[in-house]
Structure 1
Amino acid sequence: MDTLEIRTHDREELLDITPAVRRAIRENGWSDGALLLYCPHTTGAVTINEGADPDVVRDIVVNLRKLVPRQGDYRHAEGNSDAHIKSSMFGCDQLVIVEGGEVRLGTWQKIYFCEFDGPRTRKLWVKWLGA
Structure 2
Amino acid sequence: MEEIRVRTSARSEMVEITDQVQALLDRGVREGAVVVQSLHTTAAITINENADPFVVDDVLRKLDGLIPRDEPFYKHAEGNSDSHLKTSFFGPSVTVIVSGGRLVLGTWQGIYLCEFDGPRERRVAVQLLRAG
TM-score band, normalised by shorter chain: over 0.9
TM-score, scaled relative to structure 1: 0.97
Q: Does 2:91 align with 1:91?
A: yes
Structure 2: 5+ residue stretches without partners: none
Structure 1: 5+ residue stretches without partners: none
How many residues are treated as equivalent by the alignment? 130
TM-score, scaled relative to structure 2: 0.97
* Alignment correspondent of 1:41: 40
* Alignment correspondent of 1:16: 16
Query: What SS is found at the alignment partner of 2:117?
Result: coil
Aligned partner letter, 2:67: V
**C-alpha RMSD over aligned residues:** 0.6
Query: What SS is found at the alignment partner of 2:24?
Result: helix
Q: Does 2:27 align with 1:55?
A: no
Percent identity between the two aligned chains: 50
Q: How does 1:66-105 map to 2 (within 5 A)?
A: 66-72=65-71, 73-105=73-105
* Alignment correspondent of 2:2: 2
Distance 1:79 1:24 in 2: 36
Aligned partner letter, 2:13: E
Distance 1:95 1:51 in 2: 17
Query: What SS is found at the alignment partner of 2:119?
Result: coil
Query: What SS is found at the alignment partner of 2:112?
Result: strand
Q: CA deviation at 1:29?
A: 1.2
